[in-house]
Structure 1
Amino acid sequence: MKLKNLILCSLFAAITAILAQLEIPLPYVPISGQTLAVGLTATILGSKLGAISMICYTCLGAVGLPVFAGASGGIGVLVGPTGGYIFGFIAAAYITGYILEKTTYSIPIALAANIVGMVITLIIGTIQLKFAMDISWSKSLAAGTYPFIAVGLIKAFLASWIGIIVRNRLVHANLLQKASY
């Protein structure tokens, strides 16, 4: 079981690194596939494995591997304007997975949980953006939150819909444990 969990966490860290390369550049923070990957990870793996996957992803980038958006990596990214979003992925994965574990793995609940995860990521990311760029709260919100709400809702829906389908198939194939409520 431990080896299977290690493989799953590594796989989802790799999926996050791949989806991070799908991006739309914006002045301060790009729109990327990372948040979709975070939602998928949490929806499929749950709180602990989801958070571990995001910790692995963050550590891969911290040591300089080009896994973050724009094929970037290094400590400079984590302490820079976009680093808060990356740290937010860990909290978002845990909380999203936790909500699902404590309720039920269904698309409507997954959507609500993924929206909560999106908000957590945006809050942590926007706070670091404000201080790293030394800009006002209004500029920080305009650059780091508002542009991501509509696309974040779409990604939350996709993560919920795809995530529940994939999770159910992995449970059916005995590759994941069925949730016990």
Structure 2
Amino acid sequence: MNKLRKIANTALFAALTAVGAQIAIPVGNVPITLQMFFVFLSGFLLSPFEAMTSMLLYLTLGALGLPVFANFSGGIAHLVGPTSGYLWAFPISAFLIAQLRRKFNTVLSGIVGLVVVYIIGWIVLGLHIGSYRKAFIVGVIPFVLIDFAKLFLANLVALKVDKVMRGKEYGQT
């Protein structure tokens, strides 16, 4: 049963990330989506391996052409294009968040995971557009505040889900 639960959780977070990608506000080359919210949440609630695997499954589904990326798009081009660094950083970030939350608190582990996404995404975007300065201006700065809001919201949701999963809600003991 435990193995089945792990498989289900991995698939669930890949699917949630796909749904989060569809909730998008276009901002230049990199839209604001809820993908990062689910990267945080996977890291907060799953084991490091499950969190990483869920994001790798999400990328695989997109690479196969399923419309799981922003604006109901898919295909390998998303994994080699200007914003591909952000996507490739998701599995690394989810793994690190899950690993670090065991030693530190969830917010600190989430900040580390977010910095990883920003660094990898910024470098790849900078290579594609030929300017790291411009890449930082369009690919990092507009997202910092909203990503911190996602981080804190994901932390609150994770705390609530964890309580429910341990039977600490609704008068259970």
The alignment's TM-score, normalised by the length of structure 2, stands at 0.92
Is the counterpart of residue 88 in structure 1 residue 84 in structure 2? no
Equivalent runs, 1:129-140 vs 2, <5 Å: 129-133=125-129, 135-140=130-135
- Distance across 1 between alignment mates of 2:82 and 2:166: 39
For the 8 Å contact 2:37–2:150, the answer to whether it is kept is: yes
Which residue identity lines up with residue 88 of structure 1 in the other structure?
A
Equivalent runs, 1:1-181 vs 2, <5 Å: 1-103=2-104, 109-133=105-129, 135-172=130-167
For the 8 Å contact 1:46–1:96, the answer to whether it is kept is: no
Tell me how far 1:26 sits from its aligned partner.
1.1
Measured against aligned partners, the alpha-carbon deviations of 1:54-107 in whole angstroms (never above 9, x if no partner) come to 01101000111010111111110010011111111111100000011234xxxx
What is the RMSD computed on CA atoms of the aligned residues? 1.3
- Distance across 2 between alignment mates of 1:159 and 1:44: 10
Which residue identity lines up with residue 15 of structure 2 in the other structure?
A
- Structure 2: gaps of 5 or more residues: 169-173
Tell me how far 1:48 sits from its aligned partner.
1.3
**SS of structure 2 residue aligned to 1:23:** coil
How many residue pairs are counted as aligned between the two chains? Answer: 167
- Distance across 2 between alignment mates of 1:127 and 1:171: 41
- Distance across 2 between alignment mates of 1:166 and 1:47: 18
- Distance across 1 between alignment mates of 2:134 and 2:14: 31
Residue identity over aligned pairs, in percent, reads 38
The alignment's TM-score, normalised by the length of structure 1, stands at 0.88
Tell me how far 1:142 sits from its aligned partner.
0.4
Which is further off, 94-103 or 76-85? 94-103
Which residue identity lines up with residue 8 of structure 1 in the other structure?
N
Which residue identity lines up with residue 10 of structure 1 in the other structure?
A
